[in-house]
Amino acid sequence: KPRVYIRLRPLEAEEENNCWQYGKREVHMDEHAFARKNCMGDDAGLTIQQSVQFTFDQVYGPEVDNKGVYADVVEPMLGAFLEGYNAAVFSYGQTGSGKTHTMFGSAADSRGVIFHALDKICSRCEGHAERRFLLRMEVVEIYNEEVYDLLQPDKPKLLIVDHPHKGNVCSGSNELIFTSAREGVDIVQRGLVGRAVRATAMNPNSSRSHAVVRVNVESRECHPGEPGGIIGMAEVSDWMQDSRRASLTVSAFNFVDLTGSERVKKAGTDRNKGMLKEGTMINKSLVTLGICIRELGKPEGGGFVP
């Protein structure tokens, strides 16, 4: 079942006329505050007749840092992930709302949730006495509805294919092996350097592509006398040969930093053809993702998503 968490970033100076209020699990707009502050702007064309409230699994205020978000949202999924279950975390919201800051960190908080997750994944794998683990990572971006490999210098376009054992995968992507959290962080940071970023009227560092960091784990029980933990680079060749015979547990954790939804006029992208196309593709993909998540979140399991 999908879970939805809300994180509120600190207000900018021009956002102080804010009529949204929040509690532990809800965010609501008070109609009296709305009328008094006109917090949606003079051109919004909206009127609020009564209080509007939305309920979520958890709401985090500006005082909660990335480590706190990680501890509540991501860490509870790591146990099942290392046992063979796939998992995913999406950061979703308007441009400039703090998605990339939450996922990858920023000057205000340098360690995003993915870096805390890599610490825990590696420490759990390394401390396991009865299983051996092979850790790999891919970093790709979805730009204008095309997938590109961020770990190759020329950022080649990738095809999505249906793998008989892994499901949908990016054919030809560079999948790098890592043996420690530090190596994993280096791979992520190397990939993000090539991500499409531009300045808009709403965000001076607007991500123009969805970034996906996929952590793949293979594991098996130790052979008699064999140590547990993460295998080193020198053992990869033997592992690949042995993996054809041994029963492997395989799973993937996708960390997805979605680019932000935006209003074309407000973002100022209507004056540039390239950026207008980017904005159109961004909003189209976010709408499609919303449909998929809504279907998957239905109690009966959802229907076919075209």
Closest CA to 147 of 157, 133, 137: 157
* Run of H or E including 187: helix 181-192
Place of tokens 């396991």: 128
* Run of H or E including 215: strand 210-221
C-beta of residue 289 within 8 angstroms of C-beta of residue 295: no
In whole angstroms, what is the distance from residue 260 CA to residue 289 CA?
Answer: 13
Q: What is the mean pLDDT of the chain?
A: 84
Rounded mean pLDDT of 135-150?
94
138 pLDDT higher than 80: yes
294 pLDDT higher than 90: no
* The two three-digit tokens of residue 148, written as one number: 């590109």
Burial of 183 (0-12, 13-18, 19+ CB in 10 A): middle
Which of the four pLDDT bands, split at 50, 70 and 90, describes residue 87? very high
> Which is higher by pLDDT, 286 or 270?
286
Outline where 38-112 has alpha helix (H): 66-69, 75-82, 99-104
